Amino acid sequence: MPLPELLAHKQFAAGADVVTLADHATGDLVAPEMYRDFLWPLHKELAAAINGPLILHICGDTLDRIAWISRSGIECFHFESKVSASKARWAAGDRIALMGNINNPRTLLHGSPDDVADEVHVALLAGVEIIAPECAVPLNAPTINLQTVADAARAWTPPSSKSRRRWR
């Protein structure tokens, strides 16, 4: 049994509600064809073998592989701000929930609460279901900016009643 599968089974057995798989399949390291031919089959196998919801995180610009990721059977893809939220939603369609996209160094660390709220609203408008920092949060990010992520998401009102796929 592959280690990621074993670890996920153990985490769910211990009471986890969801497990995150982190993969270093960024475009800087893995060409789109290599993702499709070698990693995508592994992600599909893991999704089928693990009995519980999975979030896949891949750093960097992943636009060239989001369509494949969305067909892996994994429930949610956590992506970075190097991919625009609207392009990520377009590539993923309604096949997978999206998470993340709030820029860590530029917005959370150096931006104002208004900058954070604007970025949250752009992601929500694009159809990102779970608003979160794109990756690891800088330890010295202002607390007000982190709180603004949650506050802006809670306060946001969609411009129309158009229904969106919801996280299960």
Q: Structure tokens of 131?
A: 């608003």
> Which pTM value belongs to this model?
0.91
Q: What is the pLDDT of residues 137-152, one digit of tens each?
A: 999 999 999 999 999 9
Res. 167: pLDDT tops 50: no
Q: CA dihedral in degrees (126, 31, 41, 88; nearest 10)? A: 0
Res. 162: pLDDT tops 80: no
According to the model, what pLDDT value does residue 26 have?
84
According to the model, what pLDDT value does residue 28 have?
84
Q: How confident is the model at residue 168 (pLDDT cuts 50, 70, 90)?
A: very low
Using CA of residue 112, residue 113, residue 118, residue 121, what is the dihedral sign?
A: positive
Q: Which amino acid is it at 7?
A: L
Q: What is the pLDDT of residues 93-137, one digit of tens each?
A: 999 999 999 999 999 999 999 999 999 999 999 999 999 999 889
Cα–Cα dist 71/96, whole Å: 8
Q: Structure tokens of 45?
A: 């196998």
Q: Which of 25-34, 37-46, 126-135 has the lowest average pLDDT?
A: 25-34
* Domains of the chain and any CATH numbers: 3-154 (3.20.20.210)
Q: Name the strand (E) or helix (H) holding 54.
A: strand 54-58
Strands 19-23, 54-58: pairing is parallel
According to the model, what pLDDT value does residue 56 have?
97
Q: Residue 140 phi/psi, 5° resolution? A: -105, 20
Q: Structure tokens of 38?
A: 């070698």
Mean pLDDT of the chain: 93
Q: Residue 94 phi/psi, 5° resolution? A: -105, 20
Q: What mean pLDDT comes out for the span 50-61?
A: 95
